[in-house]
Chain A
Amino acid sequence: MKTVEEIKAAIEAAVPGAGVEVVTNPGPAAEHSLRIGQKHAVKVAEFLRDDSELALDFLSNLTAVDWPDKEITEKVKVTREVQKPVEGGEPGQVQTVTETVEETRKRVEPGYLETVYHLYSIAKKHGPVVLRMRTGNRTDDVSMPSFTSVWRSAEFQEREAFDLYGIVYTGHPDLRRILMWDEFKDHPMRKDYVEPDDYEYEPTAHDHVLERAKQHLSMEQPVAGGAE
């Protein structure tokens, strides 16, 4: 089978401006993946399916991954000019010296949601080719094109990613919740999901369940004998 670099070149030749990047996998499995841009994603998918040499006709696995905002603390060496008193000189006399100091800087890397696709070829019996696609952020720009028209096996799996992660697949024929009920509000697989405090009901609550139950009950019952 072709290597990821060769597949990248093939995609770029067939779909100009596809925006393909190779993502290396540092682990022992060494299954490197290809990140594709959203703009020509369906065209890229169709090329991968229909190309006679790749013939990736089988979308085996489709899943989402949540990458929340990451605060990165890094030490940077900074060169700067400082005013220092001259040694042995007259008081008040200063000179300009350049020195290098280490500074701790914090920056926030914005988070995103990602869909990962594992493609195999049944005709050629090779694979997997791993594709990835990102959303713009985790809050309002959470859509990406649906692959259901290319591979039907994406239908339920995209619904699952929509349900549990909140990725909106544009062009999906029937995008509804699949595992949670329709009235459910949040997306439970996200890393920052918080369980509601009345989530677990225990008749004899104890430990942390009891603490949560107490909080919940105090909100439910404002005043004793409130009817008067």
Chain B
Amino acid sequence: MSATMESALKARMARQEGWNRPPHVEPEGEGELLELSMGPHHPSTHGVFRMDVSLDGERVIRLKPVFGYLHRNHEKIAEGTSYLASMPYTDRLDYFCSLTNNWAYALAVEKLAGQEVPERAEYLRVILAELTRIQNHASTIGFLLQEMGASGTPLMYAFREREKIMDLFESLTGSRLMCNYMRFGGCRVDASAAWLDQAHKVVATIPEFIDEFERFLRSNEILMARTQGMGVIKPELAVNAGLSGPMLRCTGVGYDIRKVDSYGIYDRFQFRVPVGDHGDIYDRYMVRMLEMRESVSILNQALKDIPGGPVMDPKAKIRNFRPKPGEAYGRIEAPKGELGFYLISDGGPNPYRYRVRPPSLINLTILEDMCLGHNVADVVLIFGSVDIVLGEVDR
């Protein structure tokens, strides 16, 4: 063992006490611990992610996540190029929800440059973000069931719905996953009346799908046995550890940035913020299910009220875009949690500092706290319920 590894191991074993530190779990009985490297190619890790675990039989005594397999220094690349050139690259952060990434970045730059967004573009942004939320939550639940051993079927039910939404994205933006649709001061192209009609039709079928999905799952014995009381988070720790999105709301903290900041035009819509009670995996699943229903309600309101008009601010500058010196932090409620962009401008064509606040990475902060003392099979479930995408964790 090299000296660096040895010192790293020593640092890893050093424990700090405190209410917001992982609990100390002692092995039962005697014998050696099994050091296991789960990942980076384990099928349950949703990409390339590794967990170094120490096992006492089946029980997890220590768990350290290892990141960086997909690291390409997104921030450095963005600092070396113009503001607009980073827009298609934000699609690759959380590749399930490229449109919400676009929105968060556009929002931060608009705040930095003090730009206005036309009414119709705001409505289109809300419609696309809520469609993104529905397909993300449906797929997450599908993947969770997959990891529970329901091989294929629930995931395919979810993907069937996702496919309809992807078709909508494709016909509007030209791409199913890497949409690259939003611009500083509006959106790239306008939606036709036919597209809005089609969106109406798709949204009308979603409640039926949610009912069907819930009928199969809500009181499913295996789902309840494996998720209730598993991976519990306390609300104080959830707030202290910076969790956001369904991970925070499952503990009973009703904090939704759509309500708190009411960025865009979210103050015009009637919707509720579902919260959990126990902070376990079942509550996370249920919060996502209920959020899909609220998204449908927002979509119905937005599709009904969408006004005519331009989708781009006529004063918006595309070429030679140089915001005044200053800084801004823009954040939105992405499907996975709080997605923020922190930008510093020195008056040049490139951002001086470009930072992504990734919800997936920060939601993993308390992975160890949740998993200690549980069996390996449950680690897979707890990890799956966090809902991460490695493109955003590693950047």
Residues on A facing B (Cβ under 8 Å): 25-31, 57-61, 63, 65, 116, 118, 122, 125, 128, 130, 149, 151-153, 155-157, 164, 173-183, 188-189
Contacts and interface: CB of A to CB of B under 8 A. Distances in A.
A31 B71 CA distance: 31
Interface string B301-323: 00000000000000000000001
A48 B11 CA distance: 29
Contacts of A125: 255, 260
B323 A122 contact: no
Contact of A61 (B11, B76, B355, B365): B355
B327 A176 contact: no
Given A60-B340, A61-B329, A151 B242 contact: yes
A179 B390 CA distance: 12
Given A152-B366, A180-B71, A181-B68, 10 more contacts: A25-B326, A27-B328, A27-B345, A29-B114, A61-B355, A122-B253, A151-B240, A164-B73, A178-B68, A188-B76
- Say what secondary structure dominates the interface of chain B: mixed
A196 B353 CA distance: 22
19 contacts: A25-B326, A26-B324, A27-B114, A27-B323, A29-B111, A60-B357, A122-B239, A122-B255, A130-B329, A152-B20, A152-B21, A152-B365, A152-B366, A153-B241, A164-B73, A164-B75, A178-B67, A188-B73, A189-B76
Contacts of A177: 68
A116 B353 CA distance: 11
Given A28-B326, A128-B329, A182-B5, A152 B241 contact: yes
B220 interface: no
A179 B71 contact: yes
Interface in B255-279: 255, 260
A61 B67 contact: no
Contacts of A27: 112, 114, 323-328, 345
A118 B342 contact: yes
A73 B4 CA distance: 44
Chain B CB count within 10 A is highest, among A128, A164, A173, A181, for A173
B362 A157 contact: yes
Nearest to B366: A152
A32 to B, nearest CB: 10
A151 B242 CA distance: 8
B18 interface: yes
A8 to B, nearest CB: 19
Given A122-B239, A151-B240, A152-B366, A29 B112 contact: yes
- Say what secondary structure dominates the interface of chain A: loop
B364 A28 contact: no
A18 B224 CA distance: 52
Q: Which 5 A-B pairs have the closest CB atoms?
A: A27-B326, A153-B242, A28-B114, A29-B328, A152-B241
Nearest to B357: A61
A60 B242 contact: yes
A65 B240 contact: no
A174 B63 CA distance: 13
A28 B343 CA distance: 13
A47 to B, nearest CB: 16
B68 A179 contact: yes
Contact of B111 (A28, A60, A183): A28
Contacts of A178: 67-68
Interface in B48-88: 67-68, 71, 73, 75-76
B68 A149 contact: no
Given A157-B362, A176-B8, A65 B329 contact: no
B193 interface: no
Contacts of B15: 173
Nearest to B325: A26
A182 B327 contact: no
B326 A182 contact: no
B239 A182 contact: no
A17 to B, nearest CB: 26
Chain B CB count within 10 A is highest, among A128, A130, A176, for A176
A89 to B, nearest CB: 54
A28 B253 contact: no
Contact of A118 (B18, B113, B340): B340
A181 B50 CA distance: 13
Contacts of A30: 326
B325 A58 contact: no
Nearest to A171: B16
A153 B362 contact: yes
A58 B255 CA distance: 11
Contacts of A164: 73, 75
B394 interface: yes
A152 B67 CA distance: 18
Contacts of B113: 28
A116 B15 CA distance: 27
A19 B83 CA distance: 35
A27 B327 CA distance: 6
A31 B327 contact: yes
Contacts of B352: 65
Nearest to B72: A179
B344 interface: yes
B91 interface: no
Interface string B321-341: 001111111010000001010
Interface string B1-45: 000110010011011101011000000000000000000000000
Contacts of A26: 324-326
B362 A180 contact: no
A118 B329 CA distance: 8
